[in-house]
Structure 1
């Protein structure tokens, strides 16, 4: 099924309160990132929050990357 909508995935498929409490906006090396805290205390990168196109080209900030 494909949904063509301007709404985010979280608006269409809401997550539980427990999952949402593990997600945070953090600053890492001067970049704003949206991350999810994992059980071992590390963070998994979900989204880069930037208006600089070069931030999206940085291989260290690929979604899914584990940050310690």
Structure 2
């Protein structure tokens, strides 16, 4: 079976639901990003969800970027 999706295998089939307790989708400047909440309350970007190729060239939405105050 082949799934054509921007989501990872673990997000579709799941493993342990507690592993995803700190993850959520948020909207930043009109773009949807998948983030994980850090211990200090900030967020770390895991993935950008977009159909616009230009969004992926913007380092603001690069995986690993820390977002505070959202």
Question: The TM-score by the shorter chain falls in which range?
Answer: 0.7 to 0.9
Query: In structure 1, how many angstroms separate the alpha carbons of the residues matched to 2:63 and 2:15?
Result: 19
Structure 2 unaligned spans of 5+ = none
Question: What CA RMSD, in Å, does the superposition of the two structures yield over aligned residues?
Answer: 2.1
- Normalising by the residue count of structure 1, what TM-score does the alignment of the two structures yield? 0.77
Query: Per the alignment, in what secondary structure is the counterpart of residue 60 of structure 1?
Result: helix
- Normalising by the residue count of structure 2, what TM-score does the alignment of the two structures yield? 0.75
Deviation of residue 14 (structure 1)? 4.5
Structure 1 unaligned spans of 5+ = 1-5
Structure 1 consecutive aligned stretches of length 4 or more whose deviation exceeds 4 Å = none
